[in-house]
């Protein structure tokens, strides 16, 4: 792919620059709402799929070709780098990640290994190389789960509604918590720097569940490790870093002080509200994914409202407020992508 054909709008927006139109991609844009994905998924388990670079690259490319989005996101899971450090994790259909050796004490944290990406996740780096050297004409986003969100699965043993065990360990055994944050911090740094060096053009850190903490606890128990992660990445590689969480509107001012480039909003906080709170970084978001089940005129009206707010300040990327889900129609996302491009074209 020659540089002339390369679509740079997403990276320009990440850097806070104005763009010829608003770039768009969708969280979980590769997934079970796509018939082609369902076909491929029948033949492999989730990890078989994501550990096979050819298949993984194909699944990553699919939404770019099908929807016309302005960025690709590596097909993997936030659990992928945990397997090599000794976390016994399985992705169960209809449940999500399930872990059979949850963390309970200091010895459990001590037993975790460290991640050497070239040795432990070569398939991830190979997928990135395949995609970025020949297959894609849009930027590739690498990603990782943030320490709090990874820890929540590692401590609960799977998805949770209230995070009692996670927060219980954090409050009751702060030294164990700190040791776990340190290890997961090191892992995230090594993993994302390796992805950027392999060719990923930007990275997103998913802190999906950190909104369960109040701002004071976030500052005490999580902000230091996030500060270290963002600083190390920025020191080592020149890629924009996006930070995303769900139900984290009350943490945005904390986030604005961290050395990341873009903040991903869920649907609860509007772009106007974020700007009123003093958020100065580039923003990404935030159509409620459930709205995609509504009739088109309602989708269009809501997308227009979001775009009008996003267009007020350079550095805006359209996305959903959280991931796609199996009941969506491919056509809806195709139409939405076309609408965003047409409506915002200068
Ligand atoms: O086909 C299947 O059944 C697997 C479903 C699936 C998929 C497509 C899982 C299991 N993970 C993924 C891929 C995935 N996961 C991507 C790929 C790239 C893309 O966006 O296209 C990404 C970025 C993730 C990240 C991820 N996994 C997060 C962070 C973002 C978010 O959604 O909040 C989280 C929390 C997970 C855990 C996870 N993995 C899978 C599921 C169903 C879940 C959520 C379970 C839960 O509610 O805790």
Express each pLDDT in 207-244 by its tens digit. Answer: 999 999 999 999 999 999 999 999 999 999 999 999 99
- The DSSP output letter for 272 is H
Contact 147, 224 (CB under 8 A): no
* Total count of domains within the chain: 1
Task: Give the separation between CA 75 and CA 320, rounded to whole angstroms.
Answer: 17
Summarize the chain as % helix, strand, coil (round to 5). 55, 10, 35
Q: Per the structure block, which two tokens stand in for 289?
A: 């994914």
Local confidence band at 4 (pLDDT 50, 70, 90 cut-offs): low
Q: How far is CA 163 from the centre of its chain?
A: 20
Q: Ligand 1: which of 25, 27, 28, 90 to mutate, most ligand atoms within 8 Å of CB?
A: 28
Confirm or deny that 153 is annotated as ligand binding.
Answer: yes
- What is residue 264's three-state secondary structure? strand
- pTM reported for the whole predicted model: 0.96
Average pLDDT over residues 13-23: 97
Contact 149, 185 (CB under 8 A): no
Nearest to 158 by CA among 234, 75, 82, 226: 82
Tens digits of per-residue pLDDT, 60-101?
A: 999 999 999 999 999 999 999 999 999 999 999 889 999 999
Q: What is the mean pLDDT of the chain?
A: 97
Tens digits of per-residue pLDDT, 132-141?
A: 998 899 999 9
Share of the chain above pLDDT 90, in %: 97
Question: What is the Å distance from ligand 1's center to 275 Cα?
Answer: 29
CATH code for position 312: 3.20.20.210
Tens digits of per-residue pLDDT, 246-296?
A: 999 999 999 999 999 999 999 999 999 999 999 999 999 999 999 999 999
Task: Give the separation between CA 252 and CA 141, rounded to whole angstroms.
Answer: 22
Q: What pLDDT was estimated at residue 134?
A: 84
pLDDT over 80 at 174, yes or no: yes
Question: What is the Å distance from ligand 1's center to 28 Cα?
Answer: 7
Length of the chain: 346
- Computed from CA positions of residues 273, 277, 283, 289, in that sequence, does the dihedral angle turn out positive or negative? negative
Q: What pLDDT was estimated at residue 1?
A: 47
Q: What pLDDT was estimated at residue 271?
A: 98
Q: Ligand 1: which of 25, 36, 47, 78 to mutate, most ligand atoms within 8 Å of CB?
A: 78
Confirm or deny that 77 is annotated as ligand binding.
Answer: yes
Q: What are the angstrom distances between the C-alpha of 44 and each of 31, 34, 50, 81, 230?
A: 14, 16, 9, 19, 34
Q: What pLDDT was estimated at residue 329?
A: 97
Tens digits of per-residue pLDDT, 104-117?
A: 999 999 999 999 99
Task: Give the separation between CA 298 and CA 140, rounded to whole angstroms.
Answer: 31
Q: What pLDDT was estimated at residue 3?
A: 56
Q: Ligand 1: which of 46, 77, 144 to mutate, most ligand atoms within 8 Å of CB?
A: 77
Contact 289, 253 (CB under 8 A): no
Share of the chain above pLDDT 70, in %: 99
pLDDT over 80 at 158, yes or no: yes
Pocket of ligand 1 (CB under 6 A): 27-32, 41, 46, 73, 75, 77-78, 91, 93, 96-97, 143, 159, 206, 208, 323
Task: Give the separation between CA 284 and CA 257, rounded to whole angstroms.
Answer: 17
Question: What is the Å distance from ligand 1's center to 77 Cα?
Answer: 6
Half-sphere CA count of 218, side-chain side, radius 13 A: 23
Question: What is the Å distance from ligand 1's center to 4 Cα?
Answer: 33
Determine which residue's CA is closest to atom 46 belonging to ligand 1. Answer: 159
Local confidence band at 27 (pLDDT 50, 70, 90 cut-offs): very high
Average pLDDT over residues 125-133: 97
Alpha-helical runs (H) found in the chain = 9-14, 35-43, 46-50, 53-67, 106-111, 117-120, 122-130, 147-156, 164-172, 174-198, 215-221, 223-236, 252-256, 271-276, 296-310, 330-344
Contact 124, 76 (CB under 8 A): yes
Domain range for 92 = 3-344
């Amino acid at each position: 792919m020659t540089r002339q054909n390369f679509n740079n709008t997403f990276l320009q927006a990440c850097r806070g620059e104005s763009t010829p139109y608003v770039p768009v991609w969708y969280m979980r844009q590769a997934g079970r709402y796509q018939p082609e994905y369902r076909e491929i998924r029948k033949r492999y388990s989730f990890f078989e799929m994501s550990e096979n670079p050819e298949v993984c690259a194909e699944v990553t490319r699919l939404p770019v070709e099908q929807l016309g989005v302005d960025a690709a996101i590596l097909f993997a899971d936030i659990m992928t780098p945990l397997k090599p450090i000794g976390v016994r994790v399985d992705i169960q259909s209809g449940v999500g990640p399930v872990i059979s050796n949850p963390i309970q004490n200091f010895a459990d944290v001590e037993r975790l290994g460290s991640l050497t990406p070239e040795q432990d996740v070569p398939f991830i780096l190979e997928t990135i190389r395949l995609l970025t050297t020949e297959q894609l004409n849009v930027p590739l986003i690498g990603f990782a789960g943030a320490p709090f969100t990874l820890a929540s699965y590692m401590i609960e043993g799977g998805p949770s509604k209230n995070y009692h065990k996670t927060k219980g360990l954090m409050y009751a055994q702060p030294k164990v918590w700190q040791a776990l944050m340190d290890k997961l911090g090191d892992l995230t740094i090594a993993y994302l720097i390796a992805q950027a060096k392999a060719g990923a053009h930007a990275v997103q850190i998913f802190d999906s569940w950190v909104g369960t903490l109040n701002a004071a606890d976030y500052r005490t128990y999580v902000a230091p490790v996030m500060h270290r992660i963002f600083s190390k990445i920025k020191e080592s590689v020149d890629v924009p870093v996006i930070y995303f969480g769900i139900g984290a509107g009350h943490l945005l001012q904390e986030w604005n002080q961290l050395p990341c480039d873009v903040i991903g909003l869920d649907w609860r906080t509007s772009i106007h509200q974020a700007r009123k709170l003093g958020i100065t970084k580039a923003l990404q978001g935030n159509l409620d994914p459930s709205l995609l089940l509504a009739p088109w005129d309602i989708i269009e009206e809501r997308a227009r409202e979001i775009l009008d707010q996003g267009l007020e300040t350079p550095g805006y990327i359209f996305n959903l407020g959280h991931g796609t889900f199996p009941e969506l129609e491919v056509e809806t996302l195709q139409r939405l992508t076309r609408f965003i491009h047409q409506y915002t074209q200068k």
